[in-house]
Amino acid sequence: MIVATKAVVKRQQSQPVKVDPRDEPSAEWGWHGSFPRASRVAGWLTVVVLLVMIYNNHENNTENVWLVGIAVGIAIALLVDIKKRRTAWRR
């Protein structure tokens, strides 16, 4: 209990950290974000491209296993992201 109390006091005494514009130039004009929609579109395009690459001149199916496996992994990550965005307001 004593450690938790000290941590709370320390947290209350600390000042908010400000970003130095010399370290991150975008801090001057207030943008610290990402491109969530573009990232999702690029992810789905990557899945499609990986699956289209199956129809190529392969000697065996080892390449196909890797292409499908990576495409499925990316698709699962994108579906988890969709689920998280839909339920984020419930927190």
Whole-model pTM above 0.85? no
Q: Which residue matches tokens 């950290």? A: 17
**Residue 21: domain span:** 1-90
Confidence class for position 60, pLDDT limits 50, 70, 90: confident
Helices first, then strands: H and E counts in the chain: 3, 0
pLDDT per position as a tens digit, 29-58 = 666 666 788 899 999 999 999 999 998 887
- Amino acid present at 75: A
How many structural domains are present in the chain? Answer: 1
Taking the C-alpha atoms of residue 56 and residue 66, their distance in angstroms, rounded to an integer, is: 14
